[in-house]
Chain A
Amino acid sequence: AQSVSQHNHHVILSEAASLELGCNYSYGGTVNLFWYVQYPGQHLQLLLKYFSGDPLVKGIKGFEAEFIKSKFSFNLRKPSVQWSDTAEYFCAVNLQGGNTGKLIFGQGTTLQVKP
């Protein structure tokens, strides 16, 4: 069965530190990849997405992610985090050509940024 694994469950960083959150998926076919962010008390919002083309995608608020097909990975990065980045981050995978209503989510990573 397809699955998404986020390696870090809870990350604590100081402001200005660099961030990398790992995401791996298990599926041999073509996928669409997403990172969603959930700020405290809010709903999930799209951070960035990858469908095809340049494997390095840029999203909102200075986030970027790199798709490495050979590693089945889609890691999220930000060079310098801010206190306002404190949130929960979810990686998600959708099978291309499949039912687009079914995103498979990772367990989520809680990021806490200390001022």
Chain B
Amino acid sequence: EAQVTQNPRYLITVTGKKLTVTCSQNMNHEYMSWYRQDPGLGLRQIYYSMNVEVTDKGDVPEGYKVSRKEKRNFPLILESPSPNQTSLYFCASSGRGTGELFFGEGSRLTVL
């Protein structure tokens, strides 16, 4: 089954404690993205990757890091989480030239 898998789905952490949200897709997609969803703000792109070892900032990259060492994986790293990073995070992927995103189930992060 074609899917985008994120882990963890739910996480409560404290300010400053580094965490990683993993994302994996099994569709051999070139493009992968991270979004955060906040009430009234819709979805905002954090980072995206056009292919292995190619990443770029989205609209709200501050406080986040990403890496793309393998085509299927695109982890999101919060080096020193802060309460304003409390949000619902979605990973998504798409094939070359389609523009159609496939989303993961979401990861709800709370930073105390």
User: CB within 8 Å of B: which residues of A?
Assistant: 9, 32, 34, 36, 42-46, 49, 51, 90, 92, 94, 96, 99-103, 105-108
Contact = CB atoms under 8 A, between A and B. Distances in A.
Given A43-B90, A43-B105, A43-B106, A102 B45 contact: yes
Contacts of B94: 100-101
Interface majority SS (helix, strand, loop, mixed), chain B: strand
Q: How large is the interface on B (under 10, 10 to 19, 20 to 34, 35 or more residues)?
A: 20 to 34
Q: Which of B35, B40, B96, B99 has the most CB of A within 10 A?
A: B99
Nearest to A103: B101
26 contacts: A9-B40, A32-B99, A36-B101, A43-B90, A43-B104, A44-B90, A46-B100, A49-B99, A49-B100, A92-B101, A94-B99, A96-B99, A99-B48, A99-B50, A99-B56, A100-B31, A100-B99, A101-B31, A102-B45, A102-B58, A103-B99, A103-B101, A105-B35, A107-B41, A108-B42, A108-B43
A101 B106 contact: no
A36 B35 CA distance: 14
A55 B15 CA distance: 49
Given A100-B94, A100-B98, A101-B94, A107 B42 contact: yes
B100 A34 contact: yes
A101 B100 contact: no
Contacts of A45: 103
